Amino acid sequence: MALGIYAAGRQRHRALLSAVYFLPALVSSAALGILWSQLLSPVNGGVGYAAQHFGLFFLDKNWLGNPHLVLVTVIVLVAWQFIPFHTLLYQAGVKQIPRSIYEAAAVDGVAPLQMTRFITIPMLRHTIVTSSTLNIVGSLTVFDLIYTLTGGGPGQSTRVLALDQYLEGFSSFNFGYGSVLAVVLGVAAAAVSLLLIKITGFGEMRSQAEGV
């Protein structure tokens, strides 16, 4: 949300930064998984090379082989790929807010931080619910990046539900159990979406432009 609000500014450098950090969203998850598996490889990996030759010793870890680090690594990489998309959602949402509201608030002496708190965030309520729903459902169904990056390993450290469904059905040929996991995954995604809509009252929300 913070990135989206920042990117919605009128300065040209903000548009340039938006284009740069949106690049990960343009690359397929499978390609990113292969790329990062090479960069994070303990043998001739780019991250290990930087740690050894540029003094970045805190990077000298077995990011994909350590069961205590691998899940955190996967989460960071998934976030790095999908944050730009949600930033774009918030950027578009901010640009839909009429400028006259901010101009009236400025005349009344409202500080920029207060404008963000009392104008921008409340008028982004539709975007917040949409982004949150996509985030939660997407986290339940993430598959290709993890499959190409770790294959579920080491051990079963990154064997999430969507990946487990694939491995059970197409690697172990346990199609019955794989089908059950698919049903559970679909029901869980639908339940979470409906619960989020119910809690936030999204279905009863009126137009954000009402009263403008």
Residue 119 maps to a domain = yes
Q: Which residues contact 74 (CB under 8 A, 6 or more apart)?
A: 145, 146, 149, 150, 158
At residue 177, the pLDDT reads 93
Look at residue 212 and tell me if it is in a domain.
no
Residue 8 is assigned to a structural domain of this protein: yes
State the Cα–Cα distance between residues 212 and 62, nearest whole angstrom: 55
Burial of 154 (0-12, 13-18, 19+ CB in 10 A): middle
User: Is residue 209 scored above 70 in pLDDT?
Assistant: no
* Whole-number pLDDT of residue 212: 43
70 located within any domain: yes
Average pLDDT over residues 43-49: 89
Judge whether residue 208 has pLDDT over 70: no
Q: Would you say residue 211 lies in a domain?
A: no
Q: What is the pLDDT of residues 51-66, one digit of tens each?
A: 888 888 888 899 999 9
Residues 130, 88: Cα–Cα separation, whole Å: 12
pLDDT by residue (tens digit) across 21-34? Answer: 788 888 899 999 99
Q: Is residue 77 part of a domain?
A: yes
Percent of the chain with pLDDT over 90: 54
Which residues span the domain enclosing 11? 2-204
Name residue 180's amino acid: V
Q: How confident is the model at residue 206 (pLDDT cuts 50, 70, 90)?
A: low
Query: Where residue 38 sits, what CATH number does that domain have?
Result: 1.10.3720.10
Total domains in the chain come to: 1
The answer to pTM > 0.85 is no
* Mean pLDDT (whole number) for 104-120: 92
Q: Is residue 210 part of a domain?
A: no
Q: Cα–Cα distance between 107 and 132 in angstroms, integer?
A: 34
State the CB neighbour count (10 A cutoff) for residue 170: 11
- pLDDT single digits (tens) 152-172: 999 899 999 999 999 999 988
Give me the mean pLDDT over the 12-17 stretch: 80
Radius of gyration of the chain (CA): 21
Report pLDDT for 211.
43
Q: How much is the pLDDT for 189?
A: 86
Residue 209 domain-assigned? Answer: no
Q: Rounded to whole angstroms, how far apart are CA atoms 140 and 125? A: 23
Task: Using the predicted structure, report yes or no on whether residue 10 has a pLDDT greater than 80.
Answer: no
Residue range 55-83: average pLDDT?
A: 91
- Give the pLDDT score at 53: 87
